[in-house]
Structure 1
Amino acid sequence: MGIKSKFKNFFFDDEEEEYLEEYMEDPKEETETARSSKKLTPNKHNVVSLQSIQKSSKMVLLEPKMYAEAQDIADHLKSHRAVVVNLQRISKDQAKRIVDFLSGTVYAIGGDIQRVGTDIFLCTPDNIEVSGNITDFIQED
């Protein structure tokens, strides 16, 4: 057991000392952001204010007229905004291409895409949860 503990102490004690030296902060060099985060989190836990998230939640209503506008829709999704896309005034081929593009975008950001009406889709990023299902009311052509 003596060799095992010497071996363990040789490798693990050095790493702990380096770890403590790297992450010890000088209280004189405290930045303003560190002070403001201490005000928000007095118990030093990772706490995020939900008010800031709720204020930034927006929904965008779009009616693209051509496939080139699909990238604008994707940019809204990447900015954590929900998007309702109305594809009723575009050709079926263009609408299919847009839905395919948005499906890939939503998959990449971990969001969701749902059909909410005839040629109307709701695309949501990962920070927005949609509950319920209305596909029973949609009549397929």
Structure 2
Amino acid sequence: MGSVRKASAWLGLVDDNEDERYYDDDYAEEAESADAWVTDPRVKVASDTAEDKGRRIGTVTPDSFRDARVIGELFRDGVPVIMNLTAMEPADAKRVVDFAAGLVFGLRGSIDRVSTRVFLLSPADTEIVTGDPGAHRSDGFFNQS
């Protein structure tokens, strides 16, 4: 399978089982050994060792409002969630943001906009550290020119 075809299959643009003569067995073994994927391939969560140390972040790219349940389940378990709503229709994306706002209000978390239509949902015990340029320290690096 060519690299463009592999990338298209990985993105879900084409069916990767259409042409078996180009099937790469090494690629299949790597895909089977990747245990970081949860049931839905649009949701990726860290491995069990990261879960034990409390270092997990979930990323969800929902297709419709029905995928909001996945966001809620991850956040309810105390996992920070990055919601990428760029693939959704604007009306459904607004519904998911409203759902997320209620979710973080009910569980005393916070919601932050990362970029256009991408949001970070943080549980109550998570500290968000920003790299704002206005927060320079006096003993840090600076331009002397």
- TM-score (structure 2 length as normaliser): 0.53
Corresponding position of 2:112: 114
1:25-36 pair list within 5 angstroms: none
Q: Which residue of 2 aligns with 1:105?
A: 103
Partner of 2:45: none
Partner of 1:23: none
Which residue of 2 is the match for residue 124 of structure 1?
122
Between the aligned partners of 1:65 and 1:77, the Cα distance in structure 2 is 18
AA of the residue aligned to 2:98: D
Q: Following TM superposition, by how much is the alpha carbon of 1:56 offset from its aligned partner in structure 2, in angstroms? A: 2.4
* Structure 2, gaps ≥5 residues long: 1-50, 133-145
Q: Report the residue type matching 2:117 in the other structure.
A: D
| Alpha-carbon shift at residue 54 of structure 1 (Å) | 7.0
Distance 1:127 1:54 in 2: 16
The aligned counterpart of 1:90 is: 88
1: CA distance, partners of 2:61 / 2:90: 14
RMSD: 2.0
Q: Which has the larger radius of gyration?
A: 1
Distance 2:70 2:110 in 1: 17
Query: How big is each residue's C-alpha offset from its partner over 1:90-117, in whole Å with a ceiling of 9 and x where there is no partner?
Result: 0000000000000000011110000000
CA distance in 2, matches of 1:74, 1:129: 20
TM-score by length of 1: 0.55
The one-letter amino acid of 1:60's match is G
TM superposition outliers: structure 1 runs of 4+ over 6 Å? none
Give the Cα separation in 2 of the matches to 1:108 and 1:133: 28
In the TM superposition, what whole-angstrom CA distance separates every residue of 1:41-78 from its partner, at most 9, and x where no partner exists? xxxxxxxxxxxx97123101110001011111011011
- 2:82 partner amino acid: V
* Matched length: 83
- C-alpha contact (below 8 Å) 1:85/1:121 kept by paired residues: yes
Greater relative contact order (Cα < 8 A, sep 6+): 1
Distance 1:59 1:93, change over 3 A: same
Q: Which structure carries more helix by proportion? A: 1
Match of 2:70 among 65, 72, 95: 72
CA–CA separation in structure 1 for the residues paired with 2:87 and 2:114: 16
Instruction: Letter of the 1:106 partner, please give it.
Output: V
